[in-house]
Chains A and B, each alone.
Chain A
Amino acid sequence: MSDLLLEIRTEEIPAAALAGARLDLFEKLRAALAEEGLTAREAQAYATPRRLIFIARGLPERQEDRFSEVLGPPASAAYDSEGKPTRAAEGFARAQKVEISDLAVVETPRGATVAARRVVPGRDASEVLSQALQRVVSSLSFPKTMRWGEGSGPFARPLRGLLALFGGRVVPVELFGVAATDSTLGHRVLSDGELSVSGPDDYLEKLRAAHVEPDGEARRIAILEGARRLANEVGGSIESDSDLVPTLADLVEWPGVVRGSFAQEFLDLPEEIATTAMRTHQKYLPVRGRSGLRPHFVAVMDNREDRKGLIAKGNEWVLNARLADARFFFEEDRKERLEARLLQLARLSFQDRLGDYLQKTERLQELAETIAHVVGRPDLVETVVTAARLSKVDLTTRMVREFTDLQGVVGGIYARREGHPDSVWKAVYDQYRPSSSGDDPPREAAGAILSLADRFDTLAGLFHLGLVPSGSKDPYALRRAAFGAVSIAISRNFRLDWRPVVKKALSLYPEGLSARREQDTLEDLGSFFAERLRNLLERRGHPYDEISAVINVGVWDFADAADRAAALSQARREMDFRSLVLAFKRIRNILGEEHPEAPRAELYREDAERALAADFLQARQAIEELAGSRRYSEAMEMIASIAPSLDRFFVEVLVNCPEEELRKNRLALLAAIQKEFSRLADFSEIVVEKEK
């Protein structure tokens, strides 16, 4: 048993790509080893900005011998009546390069068959490893790759070293002209000279002594603990759920923390601006006290100590400069009211063919008004129209040009300062929410309406131009826009078919914008929304088949679809759905492509038919009432209640009977049931265990 160590040393790989790269290396290498029949006792992968590391312990030194078995002619043809081998056997043995005496007879589905068994000797692990490592290292994938020097590459960043050891000996691997050795380098600045290592443990020890912490988790914990300590010392705390910490951990090899402060006067700036300056631009962790932001921050450094205090001083100087800048923009922006900036939006392009932001603003005002009506809030029309009018103006401000993440937020802050009512400035402030999956939707209905208007305007325009996302390319962030729309409609319980809103959005664009038919655009958007809805319902824990059942029946009223999914989920837990689902699948199969007319009572012959028809009529009425008042759970119960009658029907009645009239009528009854009950969900999509 021996240990394997691999280190791929590069120039700094982007922090955002590191986690994925580590996983990629781990999975690919582990799979490659398993393919070769080499299983390790344990394996880990680590990543720092300058290294990708893989360690496998307890690998065998040789592959196990394998037995290959090749089937040949039937035993009856291979051996004669006296049990002696025939020409067929000889020929087979010769072709397989084994002795006739090595042939065996095995039982197969075809009967007794001759087989040639060969030993495939296991190869030396180090020989296998060389090829496996070579393959894996060349196949690693990164979001972006580059070339360097004389055209070496492509790789994430220039490759500068390879360390590959198995059982203490170098494994021959080479990539882009760099050959593997048994040594590496320590921290770029804090360590000098090469480190020769003998194996994983020696490597990890020497690396840490050379000021490199390979374990990302350890770096994260060190940062978090250090930051907390520093924040406590000034009577504050840091946000522990900050997604900055993992990023910071992936920017350094030997993390330390340092605290700095900024001028008290900058606390007069809106908090969002100060924290964005700290977080987004400088990657500092803001410090919060009980009454709000403290004039302190925690910065991470790729160094354990700030020996001369230069690092804290430097960072303080930079932050004060940025905050002074922000204040400068704030003062400059105040000189012109939002309303007065409107015309400047004509110079800002929304999209090449969809026009500028002034045009978008005009469309948004109309669309927001429309949406306010259709969601039953005509009282909000004035609010949303005002908010829509102001919504994009902040794009002309210095503040947003500098802090692009604060779009909407800055508009809201400025609107608040100008004395606009709460409902207006909050709507502007929240218009881009939810901006990511964990984010909350707009706080108030007006904000929700404005956000929906913006999203539908963008989606309708771009889809009509055919600029739809594909694969990983979504430059206009349409997936996020659509997901947000679905999410807002559901959280606000806005129940309506959104198609008329999409049509209205399309009508606001100039004639002849696109050669596509409105029909096709709507269809594409429908599929797009369906995927987003699926996504959202998956996050809510709905299994795939439930989502399909609900989506098949209707997508365009998102809130309604979510409700139906919830009801279906509950029904499934509480009742025996199985026989109902099987019955529906059966109905779907029997009906095929047929579209019968309504059933006629006088054509029923069997008791089971009449019973089913009667139960159905009763249930149908109840279901219509329940569904009408959105009591979907109870409606589902009603649907389930006819399962016994359906079962009895299938047992006692021959649907495809010879008498054409009766057959048609039976199909008609089943079709009526399917049609009625499928208004809530397509039960035939539900997966159940097959009956044995």
Chain B
Amino acid sequence: MIVAEQKPLDEIKGLIAEAEKVLVLGCGTCVTVCFAGGEKEAGILATSLRMASKIDGQPKDVTHTTVQRQCEWEYLDAVADQIREADIVVSVGCGIGVQAVVERFPEVWVVPGLNTSFMGLPTEQGVWEERCAACGSCILGLTGGICPIARCAKQLLNGPCGGSQNGVCEISKELPCAWQLIYDRLKSQNRLHLITQIQPPKDWSKSRDGGPRRITREDLRLAAEASE
């Protein structure tokens, strides 16, 4: 899932300072699961903004609503009236959600309520850890299902490095060495031969180095005559 966390309230107050009618727009997918921007969090933020604006002597009309997925325009259309009626929309979806609202409603001023952090999973209740860097060229099949791009500080393809001490990365005592994890996993599965293969330099053109990425599936696109 996409993991995010709410911006400090003062920062959000600054973003909406000029507006009187504010809509806090939640998202019912990833940010709901990571407790950053779902229905409950949108309600908490809207309530906090109402209270803060009253205390500051400039009460704002702050409401909130949540759609199933902000990153699909069809779901946004269901709350189009609420979006258009607001002076400003505080999206507590991920960065994709913010931009989806902007692209669908270009006339509306939209600001982010969250800092989108990473793609990861909850390792325990209340703890999320990064697992994927969306590098565009997955090598998990060679590394025992442990990603060195997301989990190794140096993104090494042939690790570990000299900074790995007793299974811990040199950058933090809290951070396990990804390549130690890979070694242990491959050893437990009798697949250590995989770690002896020297990996060539990674093709980063499929990652951010290649600019914004786009995937097109012609078989899924609507025929031109049908979409008209």
Q: Are A and B genuine complex partners?
A: no
Instruction: Using CB atoms and an 8 Å cutoff, list the residues of chain A in contact with chain B.
Output: none
